[in-house]
Amino acid sequence: MRYFMIVSLTLLILAGCSDPIKDTEPIGENMKLVVHPFTRSLSVVDTEKFEIIRTIPLGRFVVDYATAPNGKVYIPLYDDKGDKESYVAVLDPRTGSLKKIPNKFGSEDFITITKDGTAFIRTGIFKNVKDNHTLLIDTKTDQVIGSVLIPGAWTRLERFSDTQVIVGVDNPENGTEGNVYIVDRNKAVPIFPESLHPRAPFEIRYNSESGTAYFLYNGVVDEQLRQRYMTKTTDIKMLEAHIDVWNLKTLTRINQIYLPFPRPSSMVLDSRGLLYVGNWDVSPNEPVNHVLVVNPSSGQVRQLETVRNPESVHIDKDRLYVGSGTDGEMDIFQLPNLEHVKRISSFKDKVRLPMITIN
CA proximity to 207, closest of 273, 157, 155: 273
Kindly report which listed range (120-129, 182-191, 207-216, 250-259) carries the lowest average pLDDT score. 120-129
Q: For residue 316, tell me if it sits in a domain.
A: no
Measured between alpha carbons, how far is 226 from 344 in angstroms, rounded to an integer?
Answer: 39
Look up the CATH number of the domain holding residue 104. Answer: 2.130.10.10
Residue 342 or residue 150, greater confidence: 342
State the residue range of the domain holding 135: 1-150
* CB atoms closer than 10 angstroms to residue 175: 18
Cβ atoms of residues 280 and 309 within 8 Å: yes
Cβ atoms of residues 4 and 311 within 8 Å: no
Provide DSSP, 104-159: SS-----EEE-TTSEEEEE--TTT-TTSEEEEEEETTTTEEEEEEEESSEE---EE
Q: For residue 131, tell me if it sits in a domain.
A: yes
Reported as a single tens digit per residue, the pLDDT across 234-247 is 577 888 899 999 99
Total number of domains in the chain: 1
Measured between alpha carbons, how far is 312 from 350 in angstroms, rounded to an integer?
Answer: 10
**Mean pLDDT, to the nearest integer, of 270-281?**
94
**Mean pLDDT, to the nearest integer, of 64-88?**
87
Give me the residues paired with residue 247 across strands: 212, 252
Q: For residue 88, tell me if it sits in a domain.
A: yes
Q: For residue 7, tell me if it sits in a domain.
A: yes
Q: For residue 283, tell me if it sits in a domain.
A: no
Q: For residue 213, tell me if it sits in a domain.
A: no
Q: What is the pTM of this model?
A: 0.88
Distances (CA, A) of 130 to 4, 91, 254: 21, 32, 32
Name the 3-class secondary structure at 173: coil
Give me the residues paired with residue 212 across strands: 207, 247
Q: For residue 250, tell me if it sits in a domain.
A: no
Q: For residue 100, tell me if it sits in a domain.
A: yes
